Structure 1
């Protein structure tokens, strides 16, 4: 795990853990939950936050859903908050407006979920697939429906993809879940405008955004001891990325806050071995932010 660093703003009043994009990597996710359980408590209430994209692309989506639903017990925390990502929002559209949304979701990783539910491919019609998803994923869909779109704790804002530096923050965050005409116009989809902004997010430069959606690791596995070198952009961009590229590998980011301190690491299905890993430098990873 990276060394502790100090937040620019107010300290948090809970011991907060945040897990970013999981994308069906259940073993890496469960490893993160065990690590949280084994982390010494600081005397404050413990709170685990998921920033979305639990499903799609990876091999164990249904187990990821079960782990999220059981996360309070698995991580031994007092509270769990789930925030939806764009993949959860696409799932809702696939189930509720299948003739419009199913193809978009399936082409963006949803087929991995469909194949787990129907491994023999017996369900062919779009409406039948939607009905089956609604039944098999009913509890997860209810969780998405009940989830807030974002969460702010002191001077830390948790949201899936980010916020716009050019629009009123409250208006941008409270626009709802409809698919935007441009991906840069939504908190679940935004990339470049958010990622490259270096001017801070509030007048005092205190607000830090914790987000996923865009991995910063060039498709490489990260040494947990130096995860901050890849994912921490607080000093330059006032944000921390907790998407460690789970869409393509067994790697999940885990961020911890204690008072005004924070640190970040990653967990894997297969333990990280620096001697066997092909790595790139954090500077090279900047080229992937797009």
Structure 2
């Protein structure tokens, strides 16, 4: 093992613990449920001593059933201590919109319309030139969404952690700031960073498992692995499985 960090090929899960990490779901409750069913089937057959199922955030927006995704995760969280659910930038963007609706923010510009529809609300955009009637429609429908989202969904979003450690791996939504200790990372970097992280080729203290930047298939590097396979658009949801030093992927969707 390198004195500077750990490489993907050498990295191991904690002794006796199988790790499952699931990429960006983006409103695809159908794919999430299918992935969890597949994991449950594996666990029933293999019976590992212990396991953790880590979700990397971006549960909402773009896909058509964000409410169903949060309902599923809440149900799992309440009855199964093996789940760890992390925050993504779209999850914090949804929470921010509920606190202060912004027609130019992430939520309205990148898939929040579909999230609102899953709660039974059709959001209206303001007219481009700020015509009063258009503004009124935006304010009225934003207020409808604020009323439609259950308090337990809001609390779920508020309490999502930004990252977690397990064995030789660090899990987060977007990535880390190179050169900054993992326990000193800016929480915003953990859900937003791209190029400074993606273009960095040196080893990190842990292998970083992330999503946030869509890829056609899992992107495996010495220092990181990206499992965001653009589920809402491709219909393919991916999970990384780590057992000891053995790694493999599970894929759900499009005939898999």
Query: Is 2:233 the partner of 1:248?
Result: yes
Alpha-carbon distance change, 121 to 106 in structure 1, aligned in 2, over 3 angstroms: closer
Number of aligned residue pairs: 235
TM-score by length of 1: 0.72
Q: Is the 8 A contact 1:21 1:212 kept in 2?
A: yes
- Corresponding residue SS for 1:248: helix
The answer to whether the Cα contact below 8 Å between 1:15 and 1:41 also exists between their aligned partners in 2 is no
The question of 1:210 aligning with 2:197 is answered no
1:15-94 matches, within 5 Å, as 15-39=18-42, 40-71=45-76, 78-94=81-97
- Distance, in Å, in 2 between the alignment partners of 1:128 and 1:32 is 34
Q: Which runs of 4+ in 1 moved over 4 A?
A: 119-123
CA separation of 1:162 and 1:238: change in aligned 2, threshold 3 A: same
Gap change, CA 1:90 and 1:128, over 3 Å in 2 = same
CA distance in 2, matches of 1:108, 1:45: 38
- 3-state SS of the aligned residue for 1:256? strand
CA gap 1:125/1:215 in 2 versus in 1, 3 angstroms = closer
Distance across 1 between alignment mates of 2:154 and 2:227: 23
Distance 2:122 2:57 in 1: 28
The equivalent residue for 2:149 is: 136
Which of residues 245, 251, 255 is equivalent to 1:266?
A: 251
- 2:204·2:223 contact (CA, 8 Å) conserved in 1? yes
**Partner residue of 2:130?**
none
Summarize deviations over 1:234-267 as a string: whole Å, max 9, x none: xx43211110111423111112121222211210
Change (3 A) 1:162 1:33: same
Which of these residues, 153, 177, 180, is aligned with residue 164 of structure 1?
177
TM-score under structure 2 normalisation?
0.81
In structure 1, what is the Cα distance between the partners aligned to 2:202 and 2:192? 20
Given that 1:157 and 1:208 are in contact with CA atoms closer than 8 Å, whether structure 2 keeps it comes out as yes
Q: Deviations over 1:150-202 (max 9, x none)?
A: 00012100000001114343322xx345xxxxxxxx11111112112111103
Supply the RMSD in Å over aligned alpha carbons.
Answer: 2.6
